[in-house]
Amino acid sequence: MVTTRSMEGISLELSEEQKMIRDAARNFAQKEIVPIAAEYDESGEFPLDTIKKMGAMGFMGIEVPEEYGGAGMDTIAYVLAMEEIAKADVSHSTIMSVNNSLYCHGIMTFGTEEQKKKWIVPVASGEKIGAYSLTEPMSGSDAGTMKSRAVLNDAGTHYVINGRKSWVTSGPVADYIVLFTMTEPEKKHKGITAFLIDTSLPGFVRGKKEPKLGIRASATSEIVFESYECPVENVLGQPGEGFKISMVALDAGRIGIASQALGVAEAAYEASVQYARERHAFGQPIGSFQMIQQKIADMKTRIEASRLLIYNAALAKMRSKYTGERYSTEASMAKLFASETAMFVTHAAVQIHGGMGYSKELPIERYFRDAKITEIYEGTSEIQRMVIARNELGLR
């Protein structure tokens, strides 16, 4: 993205490379995902074939350098692609977001060269599915209270991991997982360590699959560790550095979720504009009624404000590569506003469509169900407000 100046003022313009991936994602999403989205939402089946195609096109590792199997592009390109995939189906974009932000970004930032080659290449290329596991049944936002444990064996060669993790996106199908668990419980969040987990090894058990309101094609489950032996070379970063790694990944992830929220809001908005033009009542299009116009105006304004917050966060992330500065505030503001915009817009879309908005004949009710999760995962709206306020008050 470049900034240009003219007589009319300042303009933000996309680079040709950014336009290319946006258009590629849009074409793929409309041709490959839109026709199957309702079917996969109904069945809850994981769309593995489509995800592999997305990997082949570079969508599963957009910011990962080409030598590690990715597309080697920037955060703006990631945002644009996420938006287009989410407009077609939020479930597909959820799988894409976890692979890109929570899995690949953390390993690219903290992993060794050997770890990047082993754990990123197959995931960024779409051959394997990655996941991220922080939450536990009794430990959500308060990670310092997690009950799972990793204990170094006497020989110092392996950690033995036991415990139960919950709400693992892609858990039922993941090949590799970035796991966060306690190695020094007395230190609370400073005693968390990150591990790279191969789910094919003994001691890894997939738990119950979650029956969800929305994003039903994005498989979510518990995972259980029963004396799972993890080699010490699979520790990501340093022991005790897990909480820091998890938060760095979440900063990146929140930009992805904000982009996802923007995509579903746009889909609901575009459908509402079309419906308001075509649907007639009392001898005129319903779009001529002021109450409908108010909804359309508020929807559009929130969508465009969300877009600018997302671009601001994406640019802050890109700058951080050179400055080392965190972009937590920018990411949290983008996720907070965009996710609440998604709920506002999809709710308004149901109202505009009336009975048809409540019917499964149209995708409006799916947009509404899918939008809700953006206010919850990777930090609830309440957590985002807390992050923003604490940063502004200097209470980090």
**Percentage above 70 pLDDT, the chain:** 97
For strand 149-152 and strand 204-209, is the pairing parallel, antiparallel, or unpaired? unpaired
pLDDT in the model for residue 280: 97
pLDDT in the model for residue 284: 97
Sign of the CA dihedral running 219, 56, 250, 215: negative
Residues 112, 89: Cα–Cα separation, whole Å = 34
Q: Is the pTM of this model over 0.75?
A: yes
Residues 396, 385: Cα–Cα separation, whole Å = 13
Catalytic residues: 378
CB-CB contact of 388 with 332 (8 Å) = yes
Mean of pLDDT values over 300-312: 98
Mean of pLDDT values over 284-303: 98
Residues 290, 300: Cα–Cα separation, whole Å = 15
Is 2 a residue whose pLDDT tops 80?
no
Burial class (CB in 10 A: 0-12, 13-18, 19+), 244: middle
Is 144 a residue whose pLDDT tops 90?
no
Mean of pLDDT values over 370-379: 97
Which residue, chain included where needed, has tokens 């894409």? Answer: 96
What domains are there in the chain, each with its CATH number? 2-128 (1.10.540.10), 131-239 (2.40.110.10), 243-393 (1.20.140.10)
Q: Return all residues near 21 (Cβ < 8 A) that are at least 6 apart.
A: 58, 62, 71, 73, 77, 80, 81
pLDDT in the model for residue 140: 76
CB-CB contact of 150 with 229 (8 Å) = no
- Listing DSSP states for 97-140 in one string gives HIIIIIIIIHHHHH--HHHIIIIIHHHHTTSS-EEEE--BTTBS
